[in-house]
């Protein structure tokens, strides 16, 4: 049994309860107590972490849309439709070693920033399973599957099924595999049918891209005679087993289809802004009854993976879009980054809040940073300005300790489960090598597209 004592707690339970002088007990991988300090519950064999009132505990953050990569800050100043062919270059030249080092670097970054669960879509994902398994991260792996020429260099339905057979549910359930699919332009109707078959056969979830840029919606109308969401519905994809990345341009009728099916939307506010896609109508999505979670979209376009930044950006963009300062407050944003993420992954009963019986995915944030002080509480200890600090004044690097499935994987802001310096050095070498190969391929691959 382990105890975290004298800690402020942001539970994100159904009442958004906060506790000023709190205590958390962890039994194996499970939370067995969350509440006010209660010395009588601490047993003599308990391993105690006394926070002395200088830390706040909250649920680990959930990044529900990510693409691991070693390439960042390279394909800049491009609108999504111009950016995609350039991004494809890295996939045409990606090797299992590139993917492995991308997972090592990316998962390190996520953990250090307090993210305990990542839904990742990339290539050679047996490497992701191994890396996340050993490092201690919780992952949902959705292979980039595509088969429409000239995009047939991605993963296949066969390699996706192989990944499910080998890795789904491994590492005490921390590694979950899904049926992953790029989008309706890269992937055929047959591939969607295969994803549905894998969902039915193995009980795995499905993750794919919804509409990202308005130009994609007009292309879909011209090519398929319907919206991307209608097309997904016609292929039987809309269900509570589905989470959809982005959905920036989307009609109210399409929102209703997604809401009725119980599917979730993974909102990536920084990526959508940076790629010139627009501001997602999250307020209207939520009013339609859709569960909306947050995602970083990975280093390739974001260029960082820090869900604290996504919370702040998402809130600011909605307030600005609707000219309404009263919407998307701190409690709302903390839910989007935690329990809504858990719901996007069908995990709301297991993670996403600090409650008895849930998996111990917990982060501790040090309060000894100028931008988090002074901390104030109301008289009865039911409200604190700390909630606003966590959304609007926070940096991922303030995260001190990260516990996933009851295991401490980061302490004092350092990874415990692997050599942090070696990960950075390996990523540097591999990244430079990958860039050389990518650039060498650029002329021969991009020239015909440009002409
Ligand atoms: Zn994406």
Residue in the block written with tokens 């990523």: 427
How far, in Å, from the CA of 339 to the mean position of ligand 1?
Answer: 21
How far, in Å, from the CA of 442 to the mean position of ligand 1?
Answer: 22
Structure tokens at 173: 């359930």
Parse the chain into domains and list their residue ranges: 2-59+352-415, 61-344
Q: What is the pLDDT of residues 44-83, one digit of tens each?
A: 999 999 999 999 999 999 999 999 999 999 889 999 888 8
Angle at which helices 96-112 and 420-450 pack, to 10 degrees?
120
How far, in Å, from the CA of 74 to the mean position of ligand 1?
Answer: 17
CA dist., res. 446 & res. 126, Å (int): 29
CA 216 to chain centre: 23
How far, in Å, from the CA of 186 to the mean position of ligand 1?
Answer: 13
Report whether 54 contacts 233 (CB < 8 A): no
| CATH code of the region 2-59+352-415 | 2.30.40.10
Question: How many other β-carbons are positioned within 10 Å of the β-carbon of residue 381?
Answer: 14
How far, in Å, from the CA of 295 to the mean position of ligand 1?
Answer: 9
How far, in Å, from the CA of 16 to the mean position of ligand 1?
Answer: 30
How far, in Å, from the CA of 246 to the mean position of ligand 1?
Answer: 7
How far, in Å, from the CA of 297 to the mean position of ligand 1?
Answer: 5
How far, in Å, from the CA of 368 to the mean position of ligand 1?
Answer: 35
Domains 2-59+352-415 and 61-344 share a fold: no
CA dist., res. 360 & res. 448, Å (int): 52
How far, in Å, from the CA of 351 to the mean position of ligand 1?
Answer: 23
Q: Which residues contact 430 (CB under 8 A, 6 or more apart)?
A: 70, 97, 98, 101
Vertex 199 angle, CA 131 and 66, to 5°: 40
How far, in Å, from the CA of 278 to the mean position of ligand 1?
Answer: 15
Model pLDDT, residue 81: 87
What pTM, to 2 d.p., does this model score? 0.97
How far, in Å, from the CA of 15 to the mean position of ligand 1?
Answer: 32
How far, in Å, from the CA of 256 to the mean position of ligand 1?
Answer: 22
Nearest to 211 by CA among 258, 147, 179: 258
How far, in Å, from the CA of 208 to the mean position of ligand 1?
Answer: 8
Nearest to 134 by CA among 412, 404, 346: 404
How far, in Å, from the CA of 207 to the mean position of ligand 1?
Answer: 10
Q: Average pLDDT, whole number, for the chain? A: 96
Band (pLDDT 50/70/90 cuts) for residue 448 is: low
Nearest to 58 by CA among 344, 415, 341: 341
How far, in Å, from the CA of 31 to the mean position of ligand 1?
Answer: 33
Does residue 447 have a pLDDT over 70? no
Band (pLDDT 50/70/90 cuts) for residue 450 is: low
How far, in Å, from the CA of 275 to the mean position of ligand 1?
Answer: 12
CA dist., res. 105 & res. 100, Å (int): 9
Structure tokens at 250: 């989307």
Q: What is the pLDDT of residues 146-184, one digit of tens each?
A: 999 988 889 999 999 999 999 999 999 999 999 999 999
How far, in Å, from the CA of 305 to the mean position of ligand 1?
Answer: 13
Report whether 133 contacts 174 (CB < 8 A): yes
How far, in Å, from the CA of 399 to the mean position of ligand 1?
Answer: 26
How far, in Å, from the CA of 2 to the mean position of ligand 1?
Answer: 38
Does residue 449 have a pLDDT over 60? no
Nearest to 248 by CA among 81, 77, 119, 91: 81
Does residue 451 have a pLDDT over 70? no
How far, in Å, from the CA of 375 to the mean position of ligand 1?
Answer: 37
| CATH code of the region 61-344 | 3.20.20.140
How far, in Å, from the CA of 209 to the mean position of ligand 1?
Answer: 6
Nearest to 386 by CA among 373, 400, 399, 370: 373
Q: What is the pLDDT of residues 352-398, one digit of tens each?
A: 999 999 999 999 999 999 999 999 999 999 999 999 999 999 999 99
Strands (E), 249-367: 264-267, 291-294, 362-366
């Amino acid at each position: 049994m382990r105890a975290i004592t004298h800690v402020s707690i942001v539970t994100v339970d159904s009442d958004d309860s906060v506790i000023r002088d709190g205590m958390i007990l962890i039994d194996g991988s499970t939370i067995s107590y969350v509440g006010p300090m209660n010395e009588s519950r601490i047993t003599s064999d308990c391993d105690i972490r006394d926070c002395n009132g200088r830390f706040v505990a909250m649920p680990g953050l959930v990044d529900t849309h990510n693409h691991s990569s070693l390439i960042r800050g390279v394909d800049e100043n491009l609108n999504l439709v111009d950016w995609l062919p350039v991004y494809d270059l890295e996939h045409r030249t990606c090797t299992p070693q590139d993917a492995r080092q991308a997972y090592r670097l990316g998962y390190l970054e996520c953990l250090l920033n307090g993210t305990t669960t990542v839904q990742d879509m990339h290539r050679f994902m047996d490497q992701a399973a191994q890396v996340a398994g050993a490092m201690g991260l919780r992952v949902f792996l959705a292979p980039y599957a595509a088969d429409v020429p000239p995009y047939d260099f991605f993963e296949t339905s066969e390699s996706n099924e192989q990944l499910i057979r080998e890795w789904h549910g491994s590492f005490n359930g921390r590694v979950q595999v899904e049926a992953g699919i790029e989008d309706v332009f890269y992937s055929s109707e047959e591939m969607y049918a295969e994803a549905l078959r894998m969902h039915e056969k193995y009980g795995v979830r499905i993750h794919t891209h919804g509409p990202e840029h308005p130009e994609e919606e007009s292309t879909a109308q011209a090519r398929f005679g319907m919206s991307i969401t209608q097309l997904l519905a016609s292929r039987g994809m809309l269900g509570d087993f589905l989470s959809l990345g982005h959905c920036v341009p989307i009609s109210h009728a399409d929102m209703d289809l997604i809401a009725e099916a119980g599917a979730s939307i993974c909102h990536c506010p920084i990526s959508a802004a940076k790629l010139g896609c627009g501001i997602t109508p999250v307020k209207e999505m939520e009013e339609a009854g859709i569960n909306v979670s947050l995602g970083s979209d990975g280093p390739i376009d974001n260029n960082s993976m820090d869900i604290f930044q996504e919370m702040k950006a998402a809130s600011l963009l909605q307030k600005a879009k609707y000219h309404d300062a009263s919407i998307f407050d701190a409690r709302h944003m903390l839910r989007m980054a935690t329990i809504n993420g858990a719901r996007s992954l069908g995990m709301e009963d297991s993670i996403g809040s600090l409650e008895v019986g849930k998996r111990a995915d917990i982060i501790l944030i040090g309060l000894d940073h100028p931008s988090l002080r002074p901390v104030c509480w109301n008289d009865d200890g039911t409200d604190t300005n700390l909630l606003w600090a966590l959304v609007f004044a926070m940096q991922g690097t303030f995260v001190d300790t990260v516990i996933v499935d009851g295991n401490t994987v980061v302490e004092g802001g350092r990874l415990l489960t692997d050599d942090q310096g070696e990960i950075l050095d390996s990523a540097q070498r591999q990244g430079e090598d990958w860039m050389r190969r990518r650039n060498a391929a650029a002329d021969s691959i991009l020239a015909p597209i440009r002409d």
